[in-house]
Amino acid sequence: MTDDKKEEKKGRSRDAGELAVLSLLAALAIILGYVEVVIPFDFVIPGVKPGLCNIVIIMILMYFSWREAVIVSFVRILAVGFMFGNLFSISYSIAGSLLAILIMTLLIRIGRFGFIGISVSGAAMHGIGQLIIAKAVLPALPFAGYASLLIISGVVTGSVTGFISFMICRRLGSFC
């Protein structure tokens, strides 16, 4: 086999391996999304969840790129939304996820933030993205008061998921 053919085969194999990993991570994100649906976490503040899927998204942002993170996030949102939610929950989740992935990608590129800082920022922006959609649907919604609650909950949940992401990536070594 010529060197060109070896490189071509090697490239395909690597791409297939990456696709397999991304598929497993998407499945994991869907399972974590299901856990968040089944266990009622929003008993204190409506709509607040621990953001377990953020663990998967951070790992994808660290190892792959924002494109793969958006794709996996959309797959998870659509799967969980159509199985357990509705079009409103899907639109809220898409807005929150896009804003979260945007800010986390920027912070990773800056390079001065660790897992917890990136995760906290993503969690807070996810809540703000959802709140922007809610404000468009419900103009009378008190934006500032609810935003402060979402940011505080984002700090708490983002710290936990950031720490878990850090521990997982530390154990996986070269993966993250």
Residue 17's pLDDT band (boundaries 50, 70, 90)? confident
Q: What is the structure's pLDDT at 5?
A: 46
- Token pair 């194999």 is found at 13
Q: Where are the beta strands (DSSP E) in the chain?
A: none
Protein fold of 3-175? Arp2/3 complex 21 kDa subunit ARPC3 (1.10.1760)
Q: Where are the alpha helices (DSSP H) in 64-114?
A: 66-84, 87-110
- Residue 173 backbone class (left: φ over 0; alpha: ψ -120 to 50; beta: rest): left
Q: Are 142 and 148 in contact (CB under 8 A)?
A: no
What pTM, to 2 d.p., does this model score? Answer: 0.86
Residue 9's pLDDT band (boundaries 50, 70, 90)? very low
Q: What does the chain come to in residues? A: 176
Dist CA 166 CA 164 (whole Å): 5
Q: What is the structure's pLDDT at 85?
A: 84
Instruction: Enumerate the domain spans of the chain.
Output: 3-175
Q: What is the structure's pLDDT at 108?
A: 96
Summary mean pLDDT of the chain: 87
